[in-house]
Chain A
C-alpha cells in the first residue's frame, strides 16, 4: 500500500474537518492549530474503506465475468440471484523498523593462476574458506496481512486501488449497517512475528550456506483496515453458486458458476432403436447388441443402476462449471 493514504476526521476542539496520513501518530488541526495525538483501542487505530461498487453493479460484474470466461450467456441470464452481502474484511498493516543482528556464513571463491609447460597462463576458480559475517541491522518494515482467513473470498492483499482511496475512522454502528464486519482472528503478536520473519528473510543472497539472526521491532505503528468485498449467491435448480466481488474496483475475486447445458434426447432414443432393430433381425443379434452396449457402458464410466437410469432418463446434460477469479 502507498504511504499517502489519508484519513479525514473532525477536530475535537473546533469541529473542523481535516486530513492526516494513515500511519501518522499526530496531526495538527489547520483551523484552530491544536496538536492532536491519534490512536485507537489498545493503541491500534482501526480504519475502513467505503465500497465504491453497489449490489447491482456487483451482480452485473459477476454475470459479465462468466461470459468473459467462456460461459454460456443464456445460462447466466437464467441464473436466479439469491442475495448479496457486503463484507468488510480486516487487514493488518504494520510499519516500523526491525533492529538486531544478522549472521551469515557464505562460501567464497578464490581465483588461482597456473602456468603450463608452454608458459600459458590458466585461471581457475576454486572454493575458498567459508566467510562469516555479522551485521547490526535496522531495516524498515512495511507489512500487510489478512487478519482472518480470507481465502474463500479470493483476496490475498488489499488491492492497489485501495492505496489511493481515503480511509475513514472505524465506526462500527455505521459500517455494521452497510455490511458484515469481520473481526480479526490473527493477534497483533502474530502479525509482529510474521513481520519480523519477513524482515529476517530479506537477508542471505548468493553463496549463503547458513544464516541466523535476532531481530525485534521498534517504532512500530500497527493499524487495522477493513476492506469491502461483495459476497453474492446465485442458484440454478437446487444448486447454489457463490461469487465474490471486490467492493472497490468491482473485480471478480473468486467464484464458480454453471457452464452451458445441452439436451441429450438423441442418445436414449438411438440406443433403444438400435436394440429393438437388432432383436427384430434375430433374437441372438439382439442379445449380442445388448451385451455389447452394456460392456461398452461398463468400460466408459461404470455399470450401475444409476448410470443406466442417467443414460436413458437424464435428458439434460450439464457442461463443466466456469471458474472465476
Chain B
C-alpha cells in the first residue's frame, strides 16, 4: 500500500501493485522475488532527496478478485469484527482518537 507508506514519511519508497501478505511475490518464485528485491535496492541508489517515490513495473499474475479469494478463509481481524458489530466506533478510527 504505497499510499499509506508514503504518508508515514519514509525517505525512499518503491511502490508495487502486489496483494497484501506477499509483497515480494508468489511463494516458490525465487526469480520473481529476486527481481523485486533488486529493483527495490536500485531505488536506494537512485534517490537523492527525501520522499523519493518510484513505482515498480511488476504485474501480479491474477485478478484482484482471485488474489482476495486466496485468503477468503482468513477470519476478519479483531478490529474489523468489532467495527462490524459496533459501527458507531468507526469515527474513532478516522479521527485517530484511539481508545486507551
- Asked if A and B bind, the verdict is no
